[in-house]
């Protein structure tokens, strides 16, 4: 078999990996990916630096053609110490290799990050190749002497394997690879994204950073060329190949070019956990059989924007607005869209209604502050819908807290068509209960406010003692984590965990499961698995 186990450090693992910055970027996601994809032997984390870095505002990811992508994340990370501590907290399977990716703005920073991460990873990967952050990545990786010096300094501080991740954007890749190996590198990773490149919509640059690295099937020939050049220059170096892999034939080509390990990256865009498991299993079958069935596992995803015009704005007494547009989208309860204002950014919003497209917007940061300045007649852009739609039927209870009430309106409407709906709403006061009157048209509504200005005085948990709920009903919850944690034990007294769905506002940046930023505590990417996540998942 072409992908038999290989030695990496003190472990023998299947030589299939994920590329750094894809699928599993949160520590919980690293553990989850290692657990669910049995045939992936090496799981690579996001690049981390010495200090926290916010990176770029969204949009950070786009599809410019089928299976052709660009990204500019900006080395977003919480800092090496916080990242290390979280890895220790969530744990990692001992039968897999956890490869930590590190970057720095200087030799000393590289060394310090490796020292911080050393006790929680099995191997290190030095990012000498990010193409869109000044002073980092590619800026350092094009200088053989600097690559040698950093590699030498890092290897002197760790006994773990160190891979130098090199950029294809150079005309002396062989010299750089040789320098890394002379410096004591265990192996070479090639390649990172190509570029940077540029893409626009209606004359506006889509990426907030304007330019970004190019990935996807189109960069396969570049990756193969670089791996071949590195193999010729460094005959005995282990090579972790990545760039453009999508089907079994791509892996075979990389192995023929001299690769030792092969990494999947943007090919997983749009895949749920189940999709990813099936895709990898199919890749392995195709490798042995010569078939090409993995091609049919790839997802046809879109980040195309649609321009919409605001037809109405309903203002509430708090910083919440309901914005109605002239557009209609085909979407179900639980799905979401991204709203984009060129030059400002984009954010995901739950659908209050799909026809006409209606969004509930709470003013929380720079983007929503700008968005809430828009008036009827103004335009913005949307992409989507994304996420998994739920199908309420039978006896349904929707539970919403504050602005989270916007996320249950569509579920209440659909549930009303197929059964009885009870709505339990809560907020700190009467001014923070949006969509009350609309929900009263389709549901039996009960309200709790902390100050007692509307309904019961207290939290939403107080309503469970006041309202008669039928055993076996289905719950759809949307609100802050504290509320969701408090109501789960009460709901489990009424129904089973497989009938409890909760939506929590995790950081959602791409909407397509590839950046991994929205991983929940279990490591599930909520943008593709949810956002309504089943309690027994």
Helix (H, G, I), strand (E, B) or coil at 336: strand
Strand residues in 42-91 grouped as ranges (E):
42-48, 61-65, 68-71
**Catalytic one among 17, 130, 478, 510?**
130
Is the sign of the CA dihedral 224, 230, 236, 238 positive or negative? negative
Q: Which of 116, 119, 128 is nearest to 80 (CA)?
A: 116
Residue count of the chain: 537
Q: Measure the CA–CA gap between 442 and 460, rounded to whole angstroms.
A: 20
Tokens 């039996």 belong to residue: 444
| SS3 annotation, 82-131 | HHHHHHHHHCCCCCCEEEEEECCCCHHHHHHHHHHHCCCCCEEEEECCCC
Q: What's the rounded Cα separation, in Å, for the pair 329 and 385?
A: 7
In the structure encoding, which two tokens stand for residue 472, read together? 């076996």
130 annotated active-site: yes
Contact assessment for residue 298 and residue 67, using Cβ atoms and an 8 Å cutoff = yes
Among all chains, which residue has been given the structure tokens 């970004």?
Answer: 212
405-416 burial string, b = 16+ CB within 10 Å, else e? bbbbbbbbbbbb
Q: Are 409 and 352 in contact (CB under 8 A)?
A: yes
Contacts of 43 (CB under 8 A, 6+ apart): 17, 18, 24, 30, 33, 34, 92, 96, 97, 98, 99
Count Cβ atoms below 10 Å from residue 54 Cβ, excluding itself: 9
- Judged by DSSP in three states, 283 sits in helix
85 burial (CB, 10 Å; 0-12 / 13-18 / 19+) is: middle
Bridging pattern class, strands 357-362 and 61-65: unpaired
Whether residue 303 contacts residue 270, with contact meaning beta carbons closer than 8 Å, is answered with no
Nearest to residue 360, comparing CAs of 399, 386, 323? 323
Q: Which residues are catalytic?
A: 130
């Amino acid at each position: 078999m072409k992908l038999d186990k290989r030695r990496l450090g003190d472990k023998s693992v299947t030589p299939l990996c994920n590329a750094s910055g894809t699928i599993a970027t949160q520590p919980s996601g690293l553990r989850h990916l290692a657990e669910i994809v049995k045939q992936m032997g090496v799981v690579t984390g996001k690049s981390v630096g010495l200090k926290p870095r916010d990176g770029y505002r969204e949009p950070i990811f786009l599809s410019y053609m089928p299976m052709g992508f660009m990204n500019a994340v900006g080395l977003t990370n919480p800092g090496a110490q916080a990242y290390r501590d979280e890895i220790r907290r969530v744990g990692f399977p001992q039968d897999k290799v956890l490869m930590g990716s590190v970057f720095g703005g200087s030799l000393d920073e590289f060394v310090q990050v490796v020292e911080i991460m050393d006790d929680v990873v099995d191997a290190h990967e030095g990012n000498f190749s990010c193409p869109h952050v000044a002073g980092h990545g590619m800026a350092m990786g094009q200088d053989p002497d600097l690559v040698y010096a950093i590699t030498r300094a890092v290897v002197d501080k760790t006994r773990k394997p160190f891979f130098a991740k090199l950029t294809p954007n150079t005309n002396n890749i062989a010299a750089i690879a040789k320098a890394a190996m002379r410096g004591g590198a265990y192996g070479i990773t090639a390649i990172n994204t190509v570029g940077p490149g540029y893409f626009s919509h209606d004359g506006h640059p889509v990426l907030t950073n304007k330019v970004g690295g190019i990935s996807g099937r189109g960069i396969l020939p570049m990756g193969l060329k670089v791996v071949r050049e590195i193999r010729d220059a460094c005959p005995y170096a282990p090579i972790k190949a990545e760039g453009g892999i999508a089907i079994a034939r791509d892996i075979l080509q990389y192995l023929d070019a001299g690769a030792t390990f092969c990494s999947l990256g943007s090919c997983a865009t749009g895949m749920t956990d189940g999709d990813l498991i099936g895709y990898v299993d199919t890749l392995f079958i195709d490798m042995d059989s010569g078939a090409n069935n993995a091609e049919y596992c790839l997802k046809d995803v879109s980040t195309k924007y649609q321009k919409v015009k605001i037809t109405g704005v309903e203002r509430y007494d708090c910083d919440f607005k309901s914005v109605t547009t002239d557009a209609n989208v085909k979407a179900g309860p639980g799905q979401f869209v991204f709203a984009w204002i060129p030059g400002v950014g984009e954010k995901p919003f739950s659908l209050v209604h799909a026809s006409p497209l209606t969004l509930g917007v709470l003013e929380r940061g720079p983007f929503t502050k700008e968005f809430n300045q828009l008036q009827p007649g103004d335009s913005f852009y949307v992409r989507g819908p994304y996420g998994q739609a739920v199908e309420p039927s039978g006896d349904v209870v929707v539970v919403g807290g504050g602005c989270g009430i916007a996320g249950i309106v569509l579920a209440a409407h659909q549930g009303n068509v197929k059964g009885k709906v009870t709505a339990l709403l809560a907020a700190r006061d009467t001014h923070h209960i949006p969509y009350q009157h609309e929900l009263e048209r389709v549901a039996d509504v009960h309200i709790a406010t902390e100050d007692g200005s509307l309904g019961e005085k207290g939290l939403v948990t107080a309503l469970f003692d006041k309202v008669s709920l039928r055993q076996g009903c289905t719950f759809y919850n949307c609100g802050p984590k504290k509320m969701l944690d408090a109501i789960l034990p009460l709901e489990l007294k009424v129904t089973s965990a497989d009938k409890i769905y909760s939506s929590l506002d995790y950081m959602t940046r791409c909407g397509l499961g590839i950046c991994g930023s929205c991983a929940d505590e279990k490591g599930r990417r909520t943008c593709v698995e949810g956002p309504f996540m089943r309690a027994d998942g």
